[in-house]
Amino acid sequence: MIKNGKYLLLVLFVLAGLLAGCGDKPEKPKDPRLLLGFSQLGSESAWRIGNTRDIETQADLYGVGLMLENANQKQENQIAAIRRFIAYKVDVIAFSPIVEEGWDNVLLEAKNAGIPVILVDRDIKTEREGLTACLIGSDFYKEGVMAAEYLIRKADALDLEEVNIVEITGTENSTPMRQRQAGFMDTIGKDERMKVLTSVNGDFLKSRGAECMRQLLSSFGRKIDVVFSHNDEMTLGALPEIERAGLKPGRDIIIISIDGGQDAIDVLKQGKINCVVECTPKLGRALMETVIKLKAGEEVAEVIHPEEAIFTDEQNTAGIAPRGY
């Protein structure tokens, strides 16, 4: 019944995924003429779920066969998924690296197999040249700068003499964590009113955002003027803790978030968040266009950053259009 090697490999691919038990079952390719293997890092946030959905939608629209694996927040699952994509001989591999280090070996295997690799959303650190074809993702440094510039404007508007900031960061050693922090710190560093009391790691998770906020309130209490949170999920976890402590988020404490998902925008409209810097998860279209170009042997841009906006209490928030994630 199995007529050729490619179908046998497909069966082996599906079985390997099931046996490995390391994520969602790989999907059957929709168009075997152009196959993309995509390793998503997890489903930790509304952003991530929106990103996965967008990639699936755009793959359908562009007629690209998609093998999607969810690594459930584990780098070893992503490495195993990339190895399965290589074994199946997909045309292009894409992945969103959970952290920046530790990819050289598997990417060298992809290179030796002649399969181009696209980084989606996050970057990697490597000494080797030519392991990846390009990066499609946000300019996280700029997001940090935009957050800090808003804070400086807000401090001016409120005539603040000293601004005590706590930072809740995303996953340690991930690109958004490193670059958002760098952009924010570099920018506030030029304003001597700004003091960072501490930075804590909230891993981009709502539950961790709540835990971090409890810890921050017990250490610093009313001294906190600003919470800079690296994503909406952690912000939404932190807000109830601030209210439980008898404080009003958005008024007693300035709240700055990143992503711009619908839930955070709704809370911005209620005045409990002051600023949300957009980080768009809609990377699917650029991804499919790049996949098609690579398959055709065409040149692709080394880095593609989407345009991103900022939503703040300085504007008429009622006019913000539905976000779609």
Residues 153-182 as x/- pattern, contact with ligand AHR by CB under 6 A: -----------------------x------
Residue 228 contacts ligand AHR per CB under 6 A = no
Q: Which is nearer to ligand AHR, 69 or 91 (CB)?
A: 69
Distances (CA, A) of 100 to 131, 144, 149, 173, 304: 14, 18, 27, 6, 18
How, if at all, do strands 92-95 and 117-120 pair?
A: parallel
Residues 188-227 as x/- pattern, contact with ligand AHR by CB under 6 A: ----------------x-----------------------
Distance CA 274, CA 250 (A): 6
Member of 54, 91, 121, 123 binding ligand AHR (CB under 6 A): 121
How many residues form the binding site for ligand AHR (CB under 6 A)? 13
Q: What one-character-per-residue DSSP string does 153-212 give?
A: HHHHHHT-S-EEEEEEE-STT-HHHHHHHHHHHHHHTT-TTEEEEEEEE-TT-HHHHHHH
Residue 84 contacts ligand AHR per CB under 6 A = no
In whole angstroms, the minimum distance from the beta carbon of 231 to ligand AHR comes to: 4
Distance CA 189, CA 235 (A): 23
Distance CA 197, CA 92 (A): 45
Residues 31-50 as x/- pattern, contact with ligand AHR by CB under 6 A: -------------xx-xx--
Give which of 135, 99, 68 is closest to 306, Cα–Cα: 135
Member of 258, 267, 273, 283 binding ligand AHR (CB under 6 A): 258
Member of 231, 235, 274, 280 binding ligand AHR (CB under 6 A): 231
Burial of 105 (0-12, 13-18, 19+ CB in 10 A): exposed
Any idea which residue has 């935009």 for tokens?
Answer: 146
Q: For residue 152, give both structure tokens.
A: 């400086």
Any idea which residue has 């000293």 for tokens?
Answer: 162
Q: Which is nearer to ligand AHR, 45 or 78 (CB)?
A: 45
Q: Which is nearer to ligand AHR, 166 or 279 (CB)?
A: 279
Member of 141, 259, 260, 287 binding ligand AHR (CB under 6 A): 259
In whole angstroms, the minimum distance from the beta carbon of 246 to ligand AHR comes to: 29
CB 15 within 8 A of CB 62: no
Residues 124-153 as x/- pattern, contact with ligand AHR by CB under 6 A: ------------------------------
Footprint of ligand AHR on this chain (CB under 6 A)?
44-45, 47-48, 121-122, 176, 204, 231, 233, 258-259, 279
